[in-house]
Every structure is written in C-alpha cells, then in structure tokens.
C-alpha cells in the first residue's frame, strides 16, 4: 500500500497544471502523478490548432467569445460556466506562457491569432501546428523541476476506492460517496496495489478509441468516466461525441488518424467533394468555418450521396510560406505519404475527436464523489453543451485545473490528515458523511485476485475491441436513429457479458481493463443517445430531427 497527499491520474494539460499549482502551494505535501503510458503520451501532445482566448481587447471581446461558445453549444451550455471560463482564460494562458510555453508572434511582437470554425474573431494562440506538443513540453519541464512531484509511468488505474470497499452499501442514491484512493495495476509485478490519498484528481482525458477511427492516441479509452460510473458517481451528456471533420483519410486504416487542423480552413482551406464542388455553401452560410457538428454532418452526407469514403481539403492556393511557417508538421506529414499540399488536395474524412460529456462536476471541478475532482476532457463542466467550440478544450482544462487547485487548498487547510475527520470537512464541501465513522486505512482490503488465471488467448480481447469500435462507428456515429441505437445496445450487452466473464476469471492486463472501460463508455454513449429524443448539437437522430423544447442534460 502506498500513501500520498495528492494523487493525480493523468499527465496532460489538466493533470499537470493542477500538479504544478499544488506542488508550489504545498511544498511539504507529496504529489503523485500516475499515467498508464509514457508521461507525455496524452491527447494534449497531439493538439494542433491552439488555445482560444481573448487577449486582444482592441479587436475582440469576452462577449463575442461567450456568444460563439453558446452558439456552438446549441442551447445546452451553462452560461455561468461559459462566462467564467472565457473571463478567467487570459490569466491562465498568461501563467502558461510564464511557465515557458511559446506561442507564435508577428514581427511587431504581438501574438499571431488563428481562426477556427464557429469563431467570430481570430483568437487562437498557437505554436505552429503543434501547439499541444509545446504545451506538454513546457508543463512537463516545470513539473519535473518540482521536488515534491513524483511521476509514476505505465501504471494503470483500475478502480476508485470508496467506502463500498469497506463493506458499506453504495449506490446511485448514496449522497456521500468518498474517494479514498485507487487500485492500480503495477506493471512490474502484475499485481493490483492500493494507493491512498487525501485528494484525488481525475485528468484521464477522452475516449476516442471507442470508435474505429479517431484523432486520439491509444491512451484515450475513457477509463476515468468508466471508473466514476462504476463507483456510482455521476456522468452526463455522454452522447455528445465530437467528430472532427478533417482527419487524414487512409484507405482501410483503423485507430489513430492524423489530424488536419481546422486552422487550415481558418486560413482559407476549402472542402470539396468528388465533383470538385466547394459543397459547404449548400449547408451553412459560414461555409467551411461553420461549427464542427455542421461541417462533419455535411461531409458525412456528401460521402453518402456520392458513395465515397472521403472528401478533399484544398489548400493549393495558400502562399508557400504558410506551409513552412504555420503548418510545417502537416506539410511534412503529407509529403511523407506522397501528397504535396501546394499542388494536390488532401483526402479527409471525419473521425471521433472529443467527448463533450463526462464526469459531472460543479464550478470548482468537484465530482459527485467527495475528495475526487475531475478536470480536462474527462469532465463535464457545462462549458461545451451539445458541441464544443474549437480550441476551447485546452482553455477549459487550465481554468478548471486552477479552480480544482483553489478548492483543494480550502479542503486541505481545513484539516490535516483529511480522511480521518471526513465528517467535518464534508459538511463544508456539501458532502455529509452519514455514518459518522472514522475511516481506518488499514481496513481497506487488498485486491482479491483469487481464482483468476492468465488468459490463454488475446484474440478474445482484440476481437471484442474490433467489434466494439465497428458497432460504435456504424450505429452510433455522426448520424443515428432508433433502430441503430437499439442494435448497438444489444451487441454491447453481449460484449459486456463476455468481457465481465473474462474479467472475473483472468489475471488483469491493461488491454482487458481498457476493453472493459470502453464497453462501459460505449454503453453510456448509447444510453445517453437513447434518452435524448431530439437532435441537438453533435447528437443527430433522424427519428427526432428537431430540437426538443425541453432543454436538459442527461445525467447517468
């Protein structure tokens, strides 16, 4: 058993921002960051377009960014949260710059600001076309300098420890579930161990891997959401999966697809169909810069009516230096597969990109489970509503990491030792510990692996994963209907049953744990989609093509 003061799951922008702040504020506290892969293997590292922020009040305003976010969110954003994130954003970006992140500037020293779909102004700060790489680089560098931060890589978090593990009844109506730490799979000895903490932050990122093609790396399997759901915490709006309109199309490819940033369209890139037609004007007056839900649906429609697997992105008219100065990574990637963007169009198709829903939090990043915060892509804060505005994700992660830090500071300064006096602390944080008991760490049981043995065939896992990704892409993709959702649920039921059998009889592996989590996430997406009897934002159901008058979040 290990003990730490602050436990952070995830080393993307959300986890690292929180870690750096906590480590600075509490030099005597032990802060542990767990990641299931290498530290820098995160969605954050792959971000391209940049960070949306209003830091040029001569040409832009908070009101405009707020309005753009609300329009993209299609009636489901929490306006208070939108205002808060937009207004607190500039201070967080300034901190990031202070920590060493570089954003492109013009010769006069002012930032170069890009434009993306749904933005009424150019406000996206970027580092060429590899903004995420630069953000991750600078945050890892700062965090590694802090003596009280420990990084543990290749350590798979399996489940949240709550009072359920001490024998108390915990269900969805339990008002006072408490996070005491996590069970983790130690790769070095293949054993499940306990790590206990006063405060745990989930910054576990997205779930794009649930689909056949995604812009997300292999780590994005929705583990955090699945764990919170299993621990009887609240998750919401899981049906809003954002498909990025322009991932590089490669025939027959599965898994992570290379992104062609929306900033290319912000700089004049044009989508064309097989007849060379610039089709977006048929769908929206904002043409290629309409919000992503609209562009992705338009591409999906064009592909279906023309019987093709992709459309084209045309950047041939760009001035030469655009390729070398703003988009060098994309330019090189295309060259490496034989496409010269200055002379040829690029084949693109939509791919799963971002989860707008997730672990439900309040404005301080508190989940429904006491002592468990969530921020970044795994959370659902109310910012994105039914569709995220481009480049608002990195901004949200930083603003909420800061808020989690502020609230954690309050929680820690109330009482040393935390879980020991949980009753008093929880009264103030709004969670009442009903049993009025002191939790003794020694009572938390070890993981019970009795009766399990090594799985003989990996095919049982890999084939189920393929089936899951196929069914989610074909039945629960950009366009849905009731029959498809019903079929998806029946197939998920079978996959779930088979995988649970495997889980209870096998020695655990990251592959099996990820499959189990992804089936849970698939179930949550289908369940949310089934409950939402309307079409709104990213959820489009041909059986209910209109928006409902009842504007509601779907909480599971």
Active site positions, annotated: 292
Out of 207, 391, 418, 426, point to the residue binding ligand FAD (CB under 6 A).
Answer: 391
Q: How far is the CB of 262 from ligand SIN (least distance, A)?
A: 3
Partner whose binding site includes residue 262, from ligand FAD, ligand SIN, none (CB under 5 to 8 Å by kind): ligand SIN
CB 379 within 8 A of CB 68: no
**In three state form, how does the secondary structure of 309-378 look?**
CCEEEECCCCCHHHHHHHCHHHHHHHHHCCCCCCCCCEEEEEEEEEECCEEECCCCCECCCECEEECCCC
Asked whether position 44 contacts ligand FAD by CB under 6 A, the answer is yes
Partner whose binding site includes residue 522, from ligand SIN, ligand FAD, none (CB under 5 to 8 Å by kind): none
DSSP tag of 166:
G
Please list every residue from 258 through 277 that binds ligand FAD, using CB under 6 A. Answer: 259
Please list every residue from 149 through 178 that binds ligand FAD, using CB under 6 A. Answer: 156-157
Asked whether position 431 contacts ligand FAD by CB under 6 A, the answer is no
Q: Between residues 263 and 439, which has the closer beta carbon with respect to ligand FAD?
A: 263
Pairing relationship of beta strands 346-355 and 241-248 according to DSSP bridges: antiparallel
Q: How far is the CB of 353 from ligand FAD (least distance, A)?
A: 6
Place of tokens 């041909």: 542
Q: Between residues 393 and 541, which has the closer beta carbon with respect to ligand SIN?
A: 393
Asked whether position 204 contacts ligand FAD by CB under 6 A, the answer is yes
Q: Between residues 48 and 380, which has the closer beta carbon with respect to ligand SIN?
A: 48
Asked whether position 218 contacts ligand FAD by CB under 6 A, the answer is no
Q: How far is the CB of 9 from ligand FAD (least distance, A)?
A: 5
Asked whether position 131 contacts ligand FAD by CB under 6 A, the answer is yes
For 52-78, letters b (16+ CB in 10 Å) and e give bbbbeeeebbeebbbebbbbbbbebbb
Q: Between residues 49 and 291, which has the closer beta carbon with respect to ligand FAD?
A: 49
Q: How far is the CB of 5 from ligand FAD (least distance, A)?
A: 18
* Other Cβ atoms closer than 10 A to 167: 9
In the bound state, the residue with its beta carbon closest to ligand FAD is: 12
Q: How far apart are CA 521 and CA 178, in angstroms?
A: 22
Let me know the angle formed at the C-alpha of 12 by 15 and 347, rounded to the nearest 5 degrees.
155
Q: How far apart are CA 100 and CA 87, in angstroms?
A: 22
Q: Between residues 104 and 362, which has the closer beta carbon with respect to ligand SIN?
A: 104
Considering only the stretches 20-28, 361-369, 371-379, 465-473, report the one whose residues sit in contact with ligand FAD under the rule CB under 6 A: 371-379
Q: How far apart are CA 354 and CA 387, in angstroms?
A: 9
Q: How far apart are CA 272 and CA 3, in angstroms?
A: 56
Asked whether position 118 contacts ligand FAD by CB under 6 A, the answer is no
The DSSP-derived string for 209-266 is GGSSEESS-TT-S-HHHHHHHHTT--EE-TT-EEEEEEEEP-TT--EE--B--THHHH
Partner whose binding site includes residue 12, from ligand SIN, ligand FAD, none (CB under 5 to 8 Å by kind): ligand FAD
Per the structure block, which two tokens stand in for 67?
């309005």
Q: How far is the CB of 449 from ligand SIN (least distance, A)?
A: 40
Out of 6, 7, 8, 13, point to the residue binding ligand FAD (CB under 6 A).
Answer: 13
Q: How far apart are CA 511 and CA 523, in angstroms?
A: 18
Considering only the stretches 78-86, 213-221, 365-373, 460-468, report the one whose residues sit in contact with ligand FAD under the rule CB under 6 A: 213-221
Tell me the three state secondary structure of residue 275.
coil
Catalog residues that contact ligand SIN under the rule CB under 6 A: 48-49, 261-263, 354, 390-391, 393
Q: Between residues 354 and 433, which has the closer beta carbon with respect to ligand FAD?
A: 354
Give the containing element (helix H, strand E) for 426: helix 422-429
Under rule CB under 6 A, how many of the chain's residues touch ligand FAD? 44
Asked whether position 397 contacts ligand FAD by CB under 6 A, the answer is yes
Q: How far is the CB of 355 from ligand SIN (least distance, A)?
A: 12
Tell me the three state secondary structure of residue 97.
helix
Asked whether position 231 contacts ligand FAD by CB under 6 A, the answer is no
Residues that bind ligand FAD (CB under 6 A): 9-15, 34-37, 42-44, 46-51, 131-132, 156-157, 203-206, 215-216, 219-220, 223-224, 259, 354, 376-378, 391-394, 397
């Amino acid at each position: 058993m290990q003990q730490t003061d602050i436990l952070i799951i995830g080393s993307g922008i959300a986890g690292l921002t929180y870690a750096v702040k906590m480590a600075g504020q509490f030099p005597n506290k032990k802060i542990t960051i767990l990641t299931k892969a290498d530290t820098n293997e995160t969605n954050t590292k792959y971000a391209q377009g940049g960070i949306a922020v209003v830091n040029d009040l001569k040409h832009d305003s908070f009101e405009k960014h707020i309005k753009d976010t609300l329009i993209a969110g299609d009636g489901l954003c929490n306006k208070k949260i939108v205002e808060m994130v937009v207004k607190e954003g500039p201070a967080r970006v300034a901190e990031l710059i202070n920590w060493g992140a570089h954003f492109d500037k013009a010769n006069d020293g002012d930032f170069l600001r890009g434009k993306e779909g749904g933005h009424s102004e150019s406000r996206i700060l970027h580092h060429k076309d590899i903004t995420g790489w630069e953000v991750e680089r600078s945050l890892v560098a700062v965090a590694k300098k802090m003596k009280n931060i420990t990084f543990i890589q290749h350590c798979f978090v399996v489940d949240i420890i709550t009072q359920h593990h001490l024998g108390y009844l915990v269900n969805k109506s339990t008002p006072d579930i408490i996070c005491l730490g996590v069970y983790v799979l130690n790769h070095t000895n293949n054993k499940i161990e306990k790590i206990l903490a006063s405060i745990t932050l989930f910054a576990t990122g997205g779930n794009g891997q649930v689909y056949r093609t995604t812009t997300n790396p292999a780590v994005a399997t929705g583990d955090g959401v699945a764990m919170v759901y299993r621990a009887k915490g609240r998750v919401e709006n899981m049906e809003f999966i954002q498909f990025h309109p322009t991932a590089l199309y490669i025939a027959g490819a599965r898994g992570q697809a290379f992104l062609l940033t929306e900033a290319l369209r912000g700089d004049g890139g044009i989508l064309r169909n097989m007849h060379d037609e610039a089709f977006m004007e048929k769908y929206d007056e904002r043409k290629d810069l309409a919000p992503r839900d609209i562009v992705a649906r338009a591409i999906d429609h064009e592909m279906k009516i023309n019987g093709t697997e992709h459309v084209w992105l045309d950047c041939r008219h760009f001035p030469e230096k655009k390729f070398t100065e703003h988009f060098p990574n994309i330019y090189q990637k295309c060259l490496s597969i034989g496409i010269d963007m200055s002379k040829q169009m690029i084949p693109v198709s939509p791919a799963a990109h971002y989860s707008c829903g997730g672990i439900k939090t309040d404005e301080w990043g508190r989940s429904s489970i006491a002592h468990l915060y969530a921020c970044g892509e795994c959370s659902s804060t109310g910012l994105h509503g039914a569709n995220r505005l481009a480049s608002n994700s990195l901004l949200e992660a930083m603003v909420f990491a800061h808020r989690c830090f502020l609230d954690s500071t309050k929680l820690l300064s109330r009482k040393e030792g935390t879980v020991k006096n949980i009753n008093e602390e929880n009264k103030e944080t709004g969670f009442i510990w009903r049993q009025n008991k002191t939790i003794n760490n020694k009572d938390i049981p070890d993981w019970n692996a009795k009766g399990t043995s090594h799985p003989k065939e990996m095919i049982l896992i890999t084939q189920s994963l393929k089936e899951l990704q196929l069914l989610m892409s074909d039945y629960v993709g950009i366009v849905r209907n009731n029959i498809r959702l019903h079929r998806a649920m029946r197939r998920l039921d079978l996959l779930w049953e088979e995988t649970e059998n495997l889980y209870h009889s096998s020695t655990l592996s990251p592959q099996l744990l990820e499959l189990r989590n992804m089936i849970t996430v698939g179930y949550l997406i289908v369940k949310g989609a089934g409950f939402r009897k309307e079409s709104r934002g990213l959820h489009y159901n041909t059986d209910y093509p209109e928006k409902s008058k009842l504007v509601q979040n779907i909480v599971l």
